[in-house]
Amino acid sequence: MKQVISAILFLTFVITLIVVVFTFQQVDREQKSLAADIQKRSDETAHRINDNLKPYMFNTYYSTYLQTLVDKYTNSERLLGVAVYDNKDNLLALSTGFSTEFAKTETLPANIMDADKASGDFSSLDNNSVYDYAIPLHDNKGAVVGSLMIVQNAGYINDRIFDIWKNNLLRLLVQSIAISLAVLFIIYWFISKPIKALAESIKNARNGNIPKGKIANHIFFEPLINEFTSISKSLQEARNIATQEARLRLEKLDSPWTAERLKEFTKDLLKGKNIFVVSNREPYMHIKQGNKISYIQPASGMVTALEPIMRSCGGMWIAHGSGDADKLTVNSHDKIKVPPDDPKYTLKRVWLTKEEEKGYYNGFCNEGLWPLCHTAHTRPVFRKEDWYQYEKVNGKFAQTLLKEIKDVRKPIILIQDFHFALLPKMIKNSRPDAIIGIFWHIPWPNAESFQICPWRREILEGMLGADLLGFHTQLHCNNFIDTVSHELEALVDLELFAVQKEGHVSFIKPFPISIPFLEQEKESTEQVEKNKKEVFEELGIKTKYMGLGVDRLDYTKGLLERLHAVEYFLQTYPAYRKNFTFVQISAPSRTTVPQYAKFAEEVEKEIERINATFRTRDWKPIVFLKKHHTHEQLYKYYKAADFCAVTSLHDGMNLVAKEFIMARSDEKGVLLLSQFAGASRELKDAIIVNPYNIEQTAESFKTALTMMQAEQTKRMKRMREIVQNYNVYRWSAELLKTLMALEN
């Protein structure tokens, strides 16, 4: 719209300029012609008067008669006055009522007598424009004996000029309005509308709905349309081939998995049925920014993993609407199609009261279950009121889900994480035909640790309502089975890894989660260097080596230990001072939970302290970026880092480690990985560290920064192969295949 307004303003400016220049010319012409006309008329009038007055002039006997005649000519429409002078410039007669002052001070009569030539000029009289014209009077011998001056009203000339300006400006206004309307019409009809149609066709083509024949029709865009039509044909052919290939590969789980292959796979497997995903965190959160509404993808490993699956399979995702503009963007059923700029599935938002959020999310989930499952030595807090809210919110989500699956036979439900441990049983009780899987994204502790939870039995029973329980690693599965054996009366089958309780069987299985892993072209050293330079410039740092950490601001991620390792590293290897900078990216997380607020404060304090110890005029060892980043921004940092440090004290999997590997298409860079992160089971080519051992972690920084390029490539290649082979599409294919095999 801004551009349209600018175009209209520009056009109006150009037209105004043209109109003004032409009006000036027209006015000039008109002025000259009117002046010539008044002069001609004045000359005729003056001579006519002269002929009539001549016999009575210069004869005192007739002076009264002269005055009478002079008065006779006055006050006609345009002639304001007549004055007769002798050759000494004395006034002989003057129209009655005419300004004596004016007639006496006027120099024109004297001038024309000197020159013996008639002349006229414009002047002003009582603020009115007048034209004075004087002719010399001669005796019979031709000598100048006096002069006659007439004064004509010239106001009509100004009126005429004013009319020209007025008419032209009015015409300009009408033209501007007409042209603006024409521009709007042209832009809408000939540009905007066809481009919109073209964009819609391209979008449809991208989504697989390729029209037969031309994708749009418009004479102006003919060449463009032809080009797009042939691109979309090629796209359709490529898509057909990909679909065929995907179908051929369906049965072989270990050949590369892509979004396309997963789509074909689920089409076959689910027989047209949709998936229902339930999670606490939503994949898209709408937020207010001034008077605009925008959206973000929350920093969450669960979202990173599940979103690509929903994009390729479609279905419904039910989650807590926690963005401050979420309510403004849903329809009357609290639903919205997402991704917002390329809708593929439905997001249904569930609203929680402040009290529910406080008890269920902040309290039981984040102060209770999170520290209980992570052995990170933060004591879990269990409150009865929090448990009450946890049960209530699980019930609320159960009601929402039951309503959505009311008319669906054997609905397929994937429940995410520790926020909904009670949900599987709630659903199973009402809908025994539902096929339910729950995936636990965080570790499962050993049976002794779990014992401290006052509601451990309710949690286990709730989870066992699912047909399939997924964890990241075999160790977590073992811990879970062990916990069930300790806490419940149930039949545990250690061969099948299944639990039978009240006639219902649940299978427990590891599914190491992953990322989409998009294959990119190998980046050249120059590209990598250029990106690195840009990142350093953006951060305003001068350094040779860069270490990187990317985590939610969470105490389980081992941030403080990592910072202490940076301090120890710089103490032990002073040569790296001024040459090494550690960039820590941290998206604020769970900020209303007291332990998190305190932790964030502690991290900032430690960074300040370490920076104060080592900083020089133009260098500091740690750059802390405490804000939410987009995935594109994160990948820029991954590509620029010499090493990425993932030093979680305990972590279900850790997707940052896998994202770093995916970003390194240049096959360089070193991954430092905590032995307590699930990812360390797969990524054996990382430098594995014990995050509690500060000296060892600091030493691993040195090892990473001095590792030979060939060694880096060897390790990175192997890790890339692993993540590519076991990407998130394969993860969901295996999870869904296992779940559907349990359908009875």
The footprint of ligand GDG (CB under 6 A) covers 297, 299-302, 304-305, 441-442, 513, 550, 552, 587, 628-631, 634, 651-656, 659
Amino acid identity of residue 547, one-letter, is G
Residue 441 CB, shortest distance to ligand GDG, in Å, is 4
Residue 438 CB, shortest distance to ligand GDG, in Å, is 13
Where are any strands of DSSP class E within 34-186? 79-86, 91-94, 119-125, 128-138, 144-153
Instruction: Please give the Cα distance from 691 to 698 (Å, whole number).
Output: 10
- Cα 397 to the center of its chain, rounded Å: 31
Number of residue whose CB is nearest ligand GDG: 301
Residue closer to ligand GDG by CB (options 413, 649) is: 649
- Helices 631-640 and 655-663 cross at an angle (nearest 10°) of 70
Radius of gyration of the chain (CA): 46
Instruction: Please give the Cα distance from 513 to 473 (Å, whole number).
Output: 9
CA dihedral for 550, 552, 553, 558, sign (positive or negative): negative
Q: What are residue 155's phi and psi, to 5 degrees?
A: -60, -35
Residue 405 CB, shortest distance to ligand GDG, in Å, is 25
Those residues with Cβ within 8 angstroms of residue 305's Cβ, 6 or more apart along the chain or in another chain: 513, 514, 515, 655, 728, 731
Those residues with Cβ within 8 angstroms of residue 513's Cβ, 6 or more apart along the chain or in another chain: 301, 305, 439, 441, 472, 652, 653, 655, 728, 731
Residue 621 CB, shortest distance to ligand GDG, in Å, is 22
Residue 436 CB, shortest distance to ligand GDG, in Å, is 18
Residue closer to ligand GDG by CB (options 658, 668) is: 658
Instruction: Please give the Cα distance from 134 to 106 (Å, whole number).
Output: 11
State the residue for tokens 């480690």. 657
Are 585 and 637 contacting, i.e. CB atoms less than 8 angstroms apart? yes
Residue 626 CB, shortest distance to ligand GDG, in Å, is 10
Residue 325 CB, shortest distance to ligand GDG, in Å, is 17
Residue closer to ligand GDG by CB (options 359, 470) is: 470
Residue closer to ligand GDG by CB (options 137, 310) is: 310
State the Cα angle at 21 between 16 and 25, rounded to 5°.
145
Half-sphere exposure of 257 (CA within 13 A, CB side): 29
Residue closer to ligand GDG by CB (options 344, 628) is: 628
Q: In a 10 Å sphere around its CB, with 0-12 CB exposed, 13-18 middle and 19+ buried, how is residue 505 labelled?
A: middle
Residue 135, beta-bridge partner list: 148
Instruction: Please give the Cα distance from 166 to 171 (Å, whole number).
Output: 8
Amino acid identity of residue 219, one-letter, is I
Residue closer to ligand GDG by CB (options 364, 660) is: 660
Instruction: Please give the Cα distance from 478 to 596 (Å, whole number).
Output: 30
Residue closer to ligand GDG by CB (options 42, 473) is: 473
Residue 424 CB, shortest distance to ligand GDG, in Å, is 18
State the Cα angle at 297 between 292 and 299, rounded to 5°.
130
Amino acid identity of residue 678, one-letter, is G
Residue 11 CB, shortest distance to ligand GDG, in Å, is 44
Are 563 and 600 contacting, i.e. CB atoms less than 8 angstroms apart? no
Residue 377 CB, shortest distance to ligand GDG, in Å, is 17
The secondary structure of residue 616, as a DSSP letter, is B
Residue closer to ligand GDG by CB (options 485, 738) is: 738
Residue closer to ligand GDG by CB (options 176, 514) is: 514
Are 412 and 275 contacting, i.e. CB atoms less than 8 angstroms apart? yes
Residue 556 CB, shortest distance to ligand GDG, in Å, is 7
Residue 521 CB, shortest distance to ligand GDG, in Å, is 22
Instruction: Please give the Cα distance from 70 to 442 (Å, whole number).
Output: 117
The secondary structure of residue 630, as a DSSP letter, is -
Residue 636 CB, shortest distance to ligand GDG, in Å, is 12
Residue closer to ligand GDG by CB (options 441, 509) is: 441
Residue closer to ligand GDG by CB (options 134, 653) is: 653
Residue closer to ligand GDG by CB (options 579, 630) is: 630
Residue closer to ligand GDG by CB (options 297, 389) is: 297
